[in-house]
Amino acid sequence: MDTDGAPQGELTLRTLAMPADVNVNGDIFGGWVLSQMDIAAGIVGGTRAQGRVATIAIDAMKFIRPVKVGDVLCIYARVDRVGRTSMGIALEAWVLRNRHGAREKVTEGTFTFVAIDEEGRPRPVPDAESMQG
Residue 128: C-alpha distances to residues 53, 59, 62 (Å): 16, 23, 29
pLDDT digits (tens, 9 = 90+) for 54-108: 999 999 999 999 999 999 999 999 999 999 999 999 999 999 998 887 899 999 9
- Rounded distance between C-alpha atoms, residue 21 and residue 99, angstroms: 16
Average pLDDT over residues 20-36: 95
Give the separation between CA 93 and CA 36, rounded to whole angstroms.
9
- Count of residues for the chain? 133
Secondary structure (3-state) at 22: strand
pLDDT at site 3:
47
Average pLDDT of the residues of the chain: 93
Question: In which domain, by residue range, is 96 found?
Answer: 10-126
The domain that contains 36 carries what CATH number? 3.10.129.10
Which of 78, 89, 87, 76 minimizes the C-alpha distance to 127?
A: 87
Residue 5 forms part of a structural domain: no
In the predicted model, is pLDDT for residue 1 greater than 60?
no
Domain count, the chain: 1
pLDDT for position 98: 83
In percent, the amount of the chain with pLDDT more than 70 equals: 94
Residue 57 maps to a domain: yes
Domain assignment present for residue 3? The answer is no
Residue 131 pLDDT grade (very low, low, confident, very high; cuts 50, 70, 90): low
- Which run of H or of E encompasses 30? helix 30-49
Q: Is residue 131 situated within a structural domain?
A: no
- pTM exceeds 0.95, yes or no: no
64 in any annotated domain: yes
Coil/strand/helix, residue 46? helix
Beta strands across the sheet bearing 72-82: 10-16, 72-82, 86-96, 103-115, 53-63
Please give the Cα distance from 124 to 121 (Å, whole number): 10
- Is 83 inside any structural domain? yes
